[in-house]
C-alpha cells in the first residue's frame, strides 16, 4: 500500500494511492496516518475495496506521509563513499543524531534557507517508519517492527552542524529541513530496502546517484542498535543516511541558493520537488 496525507498544513487528511495512481480518501476509515493507525489499522486498510473510496483532486497539496511523529532519528555517515567525501572515518557503530519534529514538511513544500545560513545542503535518504513499539529488539526480529518506507531529504546547514560547538542537531533540525513522503510504502511492497536506487538533482543537475546496497549498517542493524538506547514507538521515523554527492563533497563545495529547485527520489517510494526560498520572518 501507498499511504499518504493531503490538505493544508496542519489539517492533513489520510489517504491511499490506488493502482491507477488516484488518491483515495480514508477519512471515514482512520483518523490519520500515524502511529496508532500503523500499529493497529493496516490490516483493515488492506482489506478495503479502494474503488469504493472518494477520489481526491490530483492537484491537492501532499503533506508529510506520517502524522504525530514522536521521534525523527537520523543516522550519519552510513555510506562509506559519503564518509570519504566528508573527510570522516568509516564509523564502527551507527552515528546517531536527531531532527526536531518541527522540521517536518510535505514532500513538495518550500525549503527555507535559515537566517544567516551560507551552507545549506541536501541529502536524499531512505526513511524507515516504525510500525510496532518495542525496545531491546533483536536484529533477527527487527524487520517485523517496520511499517514501511519513505523518501527523506535530510536538509543540513553545514556551518551550523560542523563549525560551531555542540552537536550536529542544530544544523539538522531547522524549520522545513525534514521533507518526508510523498507516500509511506508498506513493507510488503519493498522486497529488500538494501536494493534501492537513490538520486537527487538541483536545477536539473544530477548530484547524488547512489544505491542503498552500499550502506554500512543495514535497516535491521540500525533498528536493533537504536532500540538498545531508547524505545521505538509506532510512527517514529529513522532516516538511514545518504549516498555521496552532497554539496559539501563537491570541489569546491556547492550550497543551495534561493530560487533553486531540488528534485529527488527513491525506487518504488516516489519523488519530491522542493523550491528553495529565504527564511520567512
Which pLDDT belongs to residue 252? 96
pLDDT band, very low/low/confident/very high, at 168 (cuts 50, 70, 90): confident
- The model's pLDDT over 83-112, given as tens digits with 9 standing for 90+, comes to 777 777 888 999 999 999 999 999 999 999
Q: Answer yes or no: are the C-beta atoms of 27 and 42 closer than 8 Å.
A: no
Mean pLDDT of 247-273: 97
- Sign of the alpha-carbon dihedral angle for 152, 127, 114, 69: positive
* Cα–Cα distance for residue pair 110/127, rounded to 1 Å: 20
Does residue 22 carry a pLDDT above 90?
A: yes
Q: Work out the burial of residue 194: count CB atoms within 10 Å of its CB; fewer than 13 is exposed, 13-18 middle, 19 or more buried.
A: middle
CATH of domain 72-278: 3.90.850.10
Does residue 178 carry a pLDDT above 90?
A: yes
Which pLDDT belongs to residue 34? 98
pLDDT band, very low/low/confident/very high, at 15 (cuts 50, 70, 90): very high
Which pLDDT belongs to residue 101? 97
What are the residue boundaries of the structural domains of the chain, listed by start? Answer: 2-52, 72-278
* Residue partners of 258: CB distance under 8 A and separation at least 6: 113, 276, 277, 278
Does residue 281 carry a pLDDT above 80?
A: no
Which pLDDT belongs to residue 80? 83
Q: 232: closest CA among 224, 240, 220?
A: 224
Q: How far is residue 127 from each of residues 150, 177, 178, 266, measured CA to CA in Å? A: 5, 14, 11, 10
Which pLDDT belongs to residue 125? 98
pLDDT band, very low/low/confident/very high, at 197 (cuts 50, 70, 90): very high
Q: Which residue has the higher pLDDT, 167 or 191?
A: 191
- The model's pLDDT over 31-82, given as tens digits with 9 standing for 90+, comes to 999 999 999 999 999 999 999 999 999 999 999 999 999 999 999 989 987 7
Amino acid at each position: 500500500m501507498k499511504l499518504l496525507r493531503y490538505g493544508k498544513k496542519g489539517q492533513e487528511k489520510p489517504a491511499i494511492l490506488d493502482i491507477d495512481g488516484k488518491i483515495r480518501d480514508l477519512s471515514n476509515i482512520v483518523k490519520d496516518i500515524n502511529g496508532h493507525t500503523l500499529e493497529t489499522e493496516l490490516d483493515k486498510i488492506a482489506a478495503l475495496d479502494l474503488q469504493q473510496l472518494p477520489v481526491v483532486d490530483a492537484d491537492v497539496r501532499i503533506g508529510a506521509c506520517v502524522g504525530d511523529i514522536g521521534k525523527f532519528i537520523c543516522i550519519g555517515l552510513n555510506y562509506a563513499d559519503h564518509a570519504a567525501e566528508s573527510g570522516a572515518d568509516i564509523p564502527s557503530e551507527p552515528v546517531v543524531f536527531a531532527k526536531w519534529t518541527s522540521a517536518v514538511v510535505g514532500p513538495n513544500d518550500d525549503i527555507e534557507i535559515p537566517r544567516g545560513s551560507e551552507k545549506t545542503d541536501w541529502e536524499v535518504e531512505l526513511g524507515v517508519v516504525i510500525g510496532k513499539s518495542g525496545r531491546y529488539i533483536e536484529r533477527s526480529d527487527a524487520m517485523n517492527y517496520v511499517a514501511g518506507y519513505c523518501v527523506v531529504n535530510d536538509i543540513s546547514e553545514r556551518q551550523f552542524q560542523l563549525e560551531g560547538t555542540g552537536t550536529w542537531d542544530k544544523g539538522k533540525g531547522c524549520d522545513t529541513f525534514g521533507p518526508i513522503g510523498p507516500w509511506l510504502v508498506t513493507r510488503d511492497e519493498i522486497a529488500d530496502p538494501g536494493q534501492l536506487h537513490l538520486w537527487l538533482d538541483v536545477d536539473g543537475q544530477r548530484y547524488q546517484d547512489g544505491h542503498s546496497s552500499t550502506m554500512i549498517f543495514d535497516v535491521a542493524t540500525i533498528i536493533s542498535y537504536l532500540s538498545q538506547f531508547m524505545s521505538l514507538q509506532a510512527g517514529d521515523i529513522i532516516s538511514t543516511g545518504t549516498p555521496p554527492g552532497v554539496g559539501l563533497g563537491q570541489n569546491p563545495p556547492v550550497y543551495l541558493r534561493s530560487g533553486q529547485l531540488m528534485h529527488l527520489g527513491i525506487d518504488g517510494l516516489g519523488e519530491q520537488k522542493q523550491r528553495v526560498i529565504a527564511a520567512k520572518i
